[in-house]
């Protein structure tokens, strides 16, 4: 009611006597049933509503606008819907329409039913059955986005609706009619509808944590659905979030944008293995290759997979000692498996300690003016081998790991020897700490002496 009063106030320009209707009854009929029911014809077309004569009614002197070309249509709406119109004018939809692409969209493409595609029949978004409403919008977008003919010129895929319908989101909205999961318009602001290649787009990998996080970080909503609301924060702190430039995945990279689903446990090795080929290969070749783990809490069985040892969203290596951080979830504390985990952990730690020392040494040499390209090359080869060592760990073969550690260790030692020749100064500095010890001892003795001298007067 309040809204209607507001509409009536807004509609003050609509004159009581609208003679346009005398000659244009069909338009009036549609309009009377639309979101703009209280408006007059002149609110969009200008002209003289009180005129009985067509020429007077259509008078250019009264700025009459006839049927606008599709590319001019939005201009008719701008005076009252400035925000939506501005956003729309920036969209690929408006650009396609301006190019004359018949597949391009205008305001009426999404706000009217397919049977009455005219501005006179624009529906209130809140109306049941409104094409822009939560339950219909996917079908509205699909009118074009699932139509090969309409997508021909832009070369876009036509499977978003089909995928969405099969997803957890589509099921919630289209089948269960709950509607609190994502619709096309939640993930793509419908008016600007930017391409995911645009770094400002909410669908760009950099912004997906924000987009998906609006719901998946919402504790109340996720609790209602029995889902973990912590996934977003965990992903944000992960190596994946820090390495998007290297092609690391954001939310849609692992879950899919339209067929949003949780990978089956049996598919997780493959899902991660697309990018982490080494760990996936060695895992499959080692004792965990065929191993099936049964969760004692849920009694659910699944092949031992990546997310058992790595949090899928944490994207981080287990911390040493691995026996405690990666193996204890499934193996008994005093088992040989835990011992093997810890043994590999020590080997890995030793390799990394060597590497850190070598990098420091090379930097030291550089500061002293030695560029040493061949040492640099050797070191980056050792970096790569240490990286590959991590793959070996997935095969759970302490013997293989020990052999590799020994081989890499030898080369590290040789490189350290070469680098030390360029940083001889450090060896002559052994006396520096010794000198400091003497200085502290001296100061301490002086202090004691001073107290002894003062104390007789104190008593």
Window 147-186: residues binding ligand HEC (CB under 6 A): 150, 154, 156-157, 160-161, 164, 168-169, 172, 180-186
Positive or negative, the CA dihedral 300, 304, 306, 309 is positive
In angstroms, the CA 426 to CA 257 distance is 56
Closest CB to ligand HEC among residues 365, 395: 395
CB of 311 to ligand HEC, least distance (A): 7
Binding mask 359-398 for ligand HEC (x = CB under 6 A): ----------------------------x--x--xx-x--
How is residue 188 written in tokens? 């793509």
Q: Are 372 and 426 in contact (CB under 8 A)?
A: no
Of residues 217-246, which lie at the interface with ligand HEC (CB under 6 A)? 221, 225, 227-228, 231-232, 235, 239-240, 243, 246
Among positions 124, 346, 364, 411, the unique one binding ligand HEC when judged by CB under 6 A: 124
Q: Which is nearer to ligand HEC, 239 or 439 (CB)?
A: 239
Sign of the C-alpha dihedral computed for residues 5, 9, 14 and 16 taken in this order: positive
**Per CB under 6 A, does 209 bind ligand HEC?**
yes
If the CB atoms of residues 76 and 419 are measured against ligand HEC, the closer one turns out to be 76
Contact between residue 106 and residue 69 where contact means Cβ atoms under 8 Å apart: no
15 binds ligand HEC (CB under 6 A): no
What distance in Å separates the CA atoms of residue 223 and residue 218, rounded to the nearest whole number?
8
Note whether 303 binds ligand HEC by CB under 6 A. Answer: no
Q: What is the dihedral of CA 56, 57, 62, 64, to 10 degrees?
A: -130
User: Segment near ligand HEC (CB under 6 A), from 76-84, 365-373, 428-436, 444-452?
Assistant: 76-84
Instruction: Give 86 or 413: the residue with its C-beta nearer to ligand HEC.
Output: 86
Residue number, 299 or 437, with CB nearest to ligand HEC: 299
Q: Please, which of residues 78-117 interact with ligand HEC by CB under 6 A?
A: 79-81, 84-85, 88, 92-93, 95-96, 101, 103-105, 107-111
Using CB under 6 A as the binding rule, whether residue 210 contacts ligand HEC is answered as no
Considering the rule CB under 6 A, would residue 321 count as an interface residue with ligand HEC? no
Give residues with Cβ within 8 angstroms of 195, minimum separation 6: 92, 201
State which of residues 71, 135, 289, 307 lies at the interface with ligand HEC (CB under 6 A): 307
Q: Per the structure block, which two tokens stand in for 414?
A: 């040789």
CB 164, CB 138: distance < 8 Å: yes
C-beta separation of 221 from 179 below 8 A: no
Structure tokens at 457: 């007067």
Residues found in the chain = 459
Q: What's the rounded Cα separation, in Å, for the pair 401 and 381?
A: 17
Q: Pick from 116, 166, 206, 276: which binds ligand HEC (CB under 6 A)?
A: 276
In the bound state with ligand HEC, the residue whose beta carbon lies nearer, of 246 and 434, is 246
Q: Which is nearer to ligand HEC, 184 or 362 (CB)?
A: 184
Dihedral sign, Cα of residue 338, residue 339, residue 342, residue 344? negative
Longest dimension (CA), the chain: 121
Scored b (16 or more CB within 10 A) or e, 126-148 reads eeeebbbbbebbbebbbbbbbee
346 in contact with ligand HEC (CB under 6 A): no
**Which listed residue (4, 5, 16, 35) binds ligand HEC by CB under 6 A?**
35
């Amino acid at each position: 009611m309040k809204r209607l009063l507001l509409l009536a106030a807004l509609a003050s320009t609509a004159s009581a006597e609208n003679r346009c209707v005398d000659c244009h009854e069909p338009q009036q009929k549609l309009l009377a049933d639309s979101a703009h029911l209280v408006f007059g014809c002149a609110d969009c077309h200008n002209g003289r509503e009180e005129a009985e004569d067509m020429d007077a009614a259509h008078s250019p002197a009264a700025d009459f606008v006839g049927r606008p070309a599709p590319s001019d249509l939005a201009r008719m709406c701008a005076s009252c819907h400035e925000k939506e119109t501005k956003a729309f004018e920036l969209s690929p939809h408006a650009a396609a329409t301006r190019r004359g692409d018949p597949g391009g969209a205008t305001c009426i493409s999404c706000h009217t039913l397919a049977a009455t595609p005219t501005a006179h029949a624009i529906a209130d978004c809140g109306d049941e059955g409104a094409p822009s409403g939560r339950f219909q919008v996917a079908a509205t977008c699909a009118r074009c986005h699932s139509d090969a003919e309409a997508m021909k010129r832009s070369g876009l895929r036509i499977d978003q609706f089909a995928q969405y319908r099969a997803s957890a989101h589509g099921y919630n909205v289209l089948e269960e009619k709950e509607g609190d999961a994502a619709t096309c318009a939640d993930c793509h602001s419908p008016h600007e509808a930017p391409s995911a290649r645009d770094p400002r787009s909410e669908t760009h990998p950099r912004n997906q944590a924000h987009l998906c996080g609006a719901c998946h970080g919402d504790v109340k909503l996720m609790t209602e659905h029995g889902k973990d609301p912590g996934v977003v924060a965990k992903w944000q702190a992960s190596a994946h979030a820090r390495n998007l430039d290297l092609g690391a995945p954001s939310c849609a990279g692992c879950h899919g944008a339209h067929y949003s689903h949780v990978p089956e446990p049996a598919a997780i090795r493959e899902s991660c293995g697309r990018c982490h080929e080494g760990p996936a290969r060695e895992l499959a070749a080692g004792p965990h290759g065929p191993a099936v783990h049964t969760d004692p809490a849920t009694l659910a069985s699944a092949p031992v997979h990546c997310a058992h040892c790595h949090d899928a969203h944490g994207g981080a290596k287990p911390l040493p000692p691995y026996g405690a951080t990666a193996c204890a979830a499934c193996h008994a504390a005093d088992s040989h498996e835990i011992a093997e985990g810890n043994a590999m952990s020590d080997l890995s730690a030793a390799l990394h300690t060597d590497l850190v020392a070598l990098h420091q040494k090379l930097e030291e040499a550089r500061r002293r003016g030695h560029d040493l390209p061949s040492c640099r090359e050797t070191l980056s080869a050792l970096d790569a081998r240490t990286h590959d060592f991590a793959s070996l760990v997935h095969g759970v073969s302490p013997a293989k790991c020990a052999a590799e550690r020994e081989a890499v260790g030898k080369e590290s030692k040789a490189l350290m020897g070469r680098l030390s020749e360029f940083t001889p100064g450090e060896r002559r500095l052994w006396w520096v700490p010794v000198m400091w010890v003497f200085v502290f001892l001296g100061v301490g003795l002086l202090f004691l002496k001073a107290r002894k001298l003062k104390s007789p007067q104190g008593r």
